[in-house]
Amino acid sequence: MNTQQYMEQLETLDIRMSSLTYTSALMGWDSMTLASKKGVDARSSVIGNMSELFFTSLINDEVKEMLDYLTEHKSELDETIAAKVRLYLKDYNEIMKIPKDEYAAYQALISKSNLAWEEAREKNDFSIFAPYLDQVLKAKKKFVKYRGYEGHPYNTLLDDYEDGLTVEAADEFFSNLKAKIVPLVKRIQAKEAPKNAFLDLTYDISKQKEYSKYMMEVLNFRMDCGCLAESAHPFTMNLSREDVRITTKFYEKDLLSSISSTIHETGHALYEQNISPDFGVSILTSGTSMGIHESQSRLYENNFGRSLPFWHKHYGRLQDLYPEQLGNISVEDFQKSLNTVKPSLIRIDADEVTYPLHVMVRYEMEKMIMSDDVNVDELPRLWNDKYEEYLGVRPETDSDGILQDVHWSEGLFGYFPSYALGSAYASQFEFYMRKDIDVDALLASGDMAPILKWLSEKIHVYGSSKIPSEIIEGATGEKFNPKYFVDYLETKYSAIYDL
Amino acid sequence: MNTQQYMEQLETLDIRMSSLTYTSALMGWDSMTLASKKGVDARSSVIGNMSELFFTSLINDEVKEMLDYLTEHKSELDETIAAKVRLYLKDYNEIMKIPKDEYAAYQALISKSNLAWEEAREKNDFSIFAPYLDQVLKAKKKFVKYRGYEGHPYNTLLDDYEDGLTVEAADEFFSNLKAKIVPLVKRIQAKEAPKNAFLDLTYDISKQKEYSKYMMEVLNFRMDCGCLAESAHPFTMNLSREDVRITTKFYEKDLLSSISSTIHETGHALYEQNISPDFGVSILTSGTSMGIHESQSRLYENNFGRSLPFWHKHYGRLQDLYPEQLGNISVEDFQKSLNTVKPSLIRIDADEVTYPLHVMVRYEMEKMIMSDDVNVDELPRLWNDKYEEYLGVRPETDSDGILQDVHWSEGLFGYFPSYALGSAYASQFEFYMRKDIDVDALLASGDMAPILKWLSEKIHVYGSSKIPSEIIEGATGEKFNPKYFVDYLETKYSAIYDL
């Protein structure tokens, strides 16, 4: 076999694996949006069987030989092919160490665990979810042992979502943030809180839906290449760059929730919709890491979607939908209430200043879990204690506490830190974007296209073909630097709160 | 290897194949309801790749050896295992004769063809669909050649949907029906048509949705094991017996369309929801043939859902939803207009007397296509000519003519006759059901459970484990006999039209 033939073999593998990923993504989408709860047994059995197929398609001697050969002959490969080799080799090394049966059983478990979480959250009963979480954690820990780790066992999971991230680096990142954010929160809290009485009013849900679709459109979501649906926890699912779907959840008594989650998920979706079409059905047609993905969603949600120029353009439309509720509220007061800083219980509704503290709670708990410092039964209390310590608030129910996030039910450990990294990346991107284009003028005019163009050309188009550090350095000319985030928070909130 | 080991191999195959069928059904559901049209290329590529997997999982020497061994040792197998062997052997023999690449290309073609049909129908432009239909037909004909046939090449396709059906038998069936139905239609047309002016009024769609869900509930559709969605052409999709989905289409100016299609699809869904749970994720967890499936949908839609006792119970609810439109219309007049006999253009909206003539048009055209007696370009005209001949009406547009049905775009040739067979089976089932239970009293009381129990015990529970003739003989004690259908039409319409 020569390089050409091995490259063809890689293409065949790429389409097979990406097809299996597509069906698995679709089953995930379906099970979170439409599928009957009672169908879980059949669905889990199918998911288990399909991941066995995923496993056997990747983990075999022919694939290993091909990947090894192409790795050795890397100099002969173009960038796209080299990126595919790198990614499949990473997957191969990750999975090959896990016994096939255990891998398939784990996939089936996740599907049931997710359903148990949903029920537990609905009924505010952690005990429904606990046995599943326990099994998921046992499997995760076992997998980390199979896969191996350097330093802390949590490192292996952190690296899954952000190439090269370690406990050491994350500890430093979070302790820096904490040192800056906690005093900032205190200075803000010393000031008068924005007058938010209008937020307690009732906001008709069908109008919220209309406004969510309007938001997607003005942010350049290609409406003929995706859709909006509803689910318990908002998420984005990319089937292909021409079929990227987002969900949100509507609350009659919480207008801002659907607006901000729609903008957030649209940020994710724009990334997926603007990956190079040249990649086709491929492992490259997907965002490169959770951190970079979150940088896109948070840039839209916070840096743009909570800014005054943005709302100068779009607030009128919202007032037209809700004249009774918003007719007498000025755009400045509306924007101020969008940026209300107030320590609270629910991560996805948190303001962007206290948000990293929510993430830190989860980060520290995951770290403890992975080093066997805590049992599943103790988690709700630990959660509540940490909220009290960092945020000064204590959940009264588990639904408002440990049951609020979907991630653990899906085995997504190591994922949360990427939310905070995403905010930090976003501010670095924005800083450099402002050197090239007049962001405020564009936000105020409603012309979001040049902003999307900047992001697409520097970030989106590459899909997974570059690693996060390459993306950051390529787009900004320097390494990741969290100071842009802290500066951004300082500047923005000094203005809003007149600090 | 001994029988036990081969049986285990069969179980492994059954779960694998059924898992692939599940994902393919889900992709089908998704592409007809939610998926973006622009995502078709990626989706087709995935579908093609997944059917290659379907192909290679079934067509290999190990499977062949296992199926041959178990066929030889049939006497040692229980009924369930024997049924699986029979079904997989049928699939194996069908598919093994088609080259793998052509099979995968065909699956990908179907996905594009379906989209082209949708666009063609929307734009009333057959030329958009024609090149795809041409390719589908070429592939179908080629496949029939690969697979072989006895007598007429169409026989192979008829047998796909109804075990043992031949052109000879279908010709006889249809010519008998035609001989009885054409005079019956004439006698009815000599009478005064029901006064239908209220059907031209506008019926709010959200209330139609509400009534569709009410219908599903009163017919014992398990609402926690499925859902209702919308699509261009109503259909039922079974993922598992706990996840059976139906679609309908709502028209503001056509109240009866959504009611009758919802009842029709619910009939299909009840079949799937009541298959024995013992089969699990298996090839047996699916209705046994299109004809038997259609017997269930038509029994509910026509025999029950257009009867006076049924509407005595459920008409009040409909009047409550539409007091302005229906307040002054009596239940007798409503039921009469539900049974208006009038030759028309659209099959799915046709009355049950002229319906078999719609099917006959398609049957005869498919027969001609399969014997190379007509080209794709000539089909619209041929369609229109036949409608004029049998029904006395001529479509003015292709959307109201040859583009009305989804089937050909999905390669479903040989499927249509099962619609007419289904009506005939339904009347035979009803005749014998009435010997056991007081159907009219149950319809009038709204207690549909004993009816469903009768059908479930005699038909549904078996899934695909029995062939159609076994089902019919088991449930009615005699072979299929179309006279029950003709008698049913005579009796029913003599009463309604006072013949």
Q: For residues A471 and A292, is the Cβ–Cβ distance under 8 A?
A: yes
Supply the pTM of this predicted model.
0.90
CA gap A250, A257 in Å, rounded:
7
At B400 the three-state DSSP class reads: coil
b/e map B246-285, b = 16+ CB within 10 Å: bbbebeeebbbbbbbbbbbbbbbbbbbbbbbeebbbbbbb
Q: Which residues of A touch B37 (CB under 8 A)?
A: 224
B30 to A27: CB separation less than 8 angstroms, yes or no = no
Q: Which residues of B are catalytic?
A: 265
Contacts 24+ apart (CB under 8 A), B194-201: B194/B333, B194/B336, B194/B337, B194/B339, B194/B340, B195/B333, B195/B337, B196/B337, B196/B340, B198/B325, B198/B326, B198/B329, B198/B337, B199/B254, B199/B255, B199/B256, B199/B337, B200/B253, B201/B324, B201/B325
Distance from C-alpha of B370 to C-alpha of B138, rounded to nearest angstrom: 10
| pLDDT value of residue A463 | 98
Tokens representing A378 are 């103790």
Torsion of CA B20, B23, B28, B30, to 10 degrees: -170
Q: What is the pLDDT of residue B343?
A: 94
Chain-centre distance of CA B79, in angstroms?
27
Q: How many other CB atoms are found less than 10 A from the CB of residue B148?
A: 10
Task: Name the 3-class secondary structure at B228.
Answer: strand
Contacts of A26 (CB under 8 A, 6+ apart): A239, B23, B26, B27, B30
What's the average model confidence in pLDDT over B179-183? 90
CA-only gyration radius of chain B, Å: 23
Is A34 close to B227, i.e. CB distance below 8 A?
A: yes
Q: Which two tokens stand for residue B247?
A: 């679609």
Closest CA in chain B for residue A24? B23
B210 touches chain A (CB under 8 A): no
Q: Which among A410, A363, A395 has a CA at the least distance from the CA of A235?
A: A410
Average pLDDT, chain B: 95
Task: Encode pLDDT of B245-274 as tens digits.
Answer: 999 999 999 999 999 999 999 999 999 999
Do the Cβ atoms of A240 and B42 come within 8 Å? yes
Residue A46 to residue B243, Cβ atoms within 8 A:
no
Q: What pLDDT is stored for residue B196 in this prediction?
A: 87
Query: Residue B425 in 3-state DSSP?
Result: helix
Cβ contacts of A476 within 8 Å, gap of 6 or more: A428, A429, A431, A432
Residues 6+ apart with CB under 8 A from A304: A263, A310, A439, A443, A448, A451
If contacts are CB pairs under 8 Å, which of residues 281-300 in chain A contact chain B?
281
Mutate to test the interface with B, among A237, A240, A241, A283 (most CBs of B within 10 A): A240
Residue from the list A16, A45, A281 with its beta carbon closest to the beta carbon of B42? A281
DSSP notation for A314-361: HHHHHHHH-HHHHTT--HHHHHHHHT-----S-GGG--TTTHHHHHHH
pLDDT in tens, A10-32: 999 999 999 999 999 999 999 99
How far from chain centre, in Å, is Cα B301? Answer: 12
Q: What pLDDT was estimated at residue B104?
A: 84
Q: How far is A171 from A469, CA to CA, in rounded Å? A: 19
Average pLDDT over residues B7-31: 97
Phi first, then psi: give them for residue B457, nearest 5 degrees: -70, -35
CATH architecture assigned to A167-497: Orthogonal Bundle (1.10)
d(CA A444, CA A442): 5
Two tokens at A205? Answer: 């849900």
At residue A206, the pLDDT reads 96
Sort out which chain A residues have CB atoms less than 8 A from B41's CB and list them.
Answer: 240, 242
pLDDT (0 to 100) of residue A232: 86
Q: What ipTM was estimated for this complex?
A: 0.88
Q: What is the pLDDT of residue B1?
A: 86
Which among B258, B257, B254, B260 is positioned nearest to B325, based on CA atoms?
A: B254
Whether the pLDDT of residue B295 is over 90: the answer is yes
Say if residue A324 is exposed, middle or buried (CB neighbours under 10 Å; 0-12, 13-18, 19+).
exposed
Crossing angle of helices A100-123/A126-147, nearest 10°? 150
pLDDT at A387 over 90: yes
The model's confidence at residue A348, banded by pLDDT at 50, 70 and 90, is confident
Residues 6+ apart with CB under 8 A from A127: A120
What pLDDT digit, counting tens, does each position of B386-396 carry? Answer: 999 999 999 99
The model's confidence at residue A95, banded by pLDDT at 50, 70 and 90, is confident
Give the residue-averaged pLDDT of B472-497.
Answer: 94
- Over residues B415-453, the pLDDT tens digits come to 999 999 999 999 999 999 999 999 999 999 999 999 999
> What is the per-residue pLDDT for A471?
97
Chain mean pLDDT for chain A: 95
Answer whether residue B163 shows pLDDT above 90. no
Beta-strand pair B226-230/A243-248: unpaired
- pLDDT, tens only, A210-234: 999 999 999 999 999 999 999 988 9
pLDDT for A196 equals: 87
- In whole angstroms, what separates CA A104 from the centre of its chain? 25
Domain ranges of chain B: 3-147, 167-497
H helix intervals, A191-321: 205-218, 255-273, 290-298, 308-321
H or E element in which residue A107 lies: helix A100-123
Q: Do A19 and B240 touch (CB under 8 A)?
A: no
* 3-state SS, residue A155: helix
Judged by CB atoms closer than 8 Å, whether chains meet at B46 and A281 is answered as: yes
Q: What is the pLDDT of residue A111?
A: 86
Cα–Cα distance for residue pair A41/A90, rounded to 1 Å: 31
Among candidates A296, A270, A282, A271, which has minimal Cα distance to A83? Answer: A282
Give residue B499's pLDDT: 87
Rounded distance between C-alpha atoms, residue A441 and residue A448, angstroms: 10
Q: Which of A117-126, A280-289, B105-114, B362-371 has the lowest mean pLDDT?
A: B105-114
The mean per-residue pLDDT over the stretch B220-244 comes to 96
Predicted confidence band at B92 (pLDDT cuts at 50, 70, 90)?
very high
**Residue among B19, B41, B100 with most chain A CBs within 10 A, to mutate:** B19
Residue of B18, B37, B50 lying closest to A19 (CB–CB) = B50
**Terminal-residue alpha carbon distance, chain A:** 68
Distance CA B31, CA B27 (A): 6
Which pLDDT belongs to residue A31? 93
Is it the case that residue B184 has pLDDT exceeding 90?
yes
Check pLDDT > 90 for residue A79: yes
pLDDT of residue A1: 86
Report yes or no: A18 at the B interface, CB cutoff 8 Å.
yes
Active centre residues of A (catalytic): 265
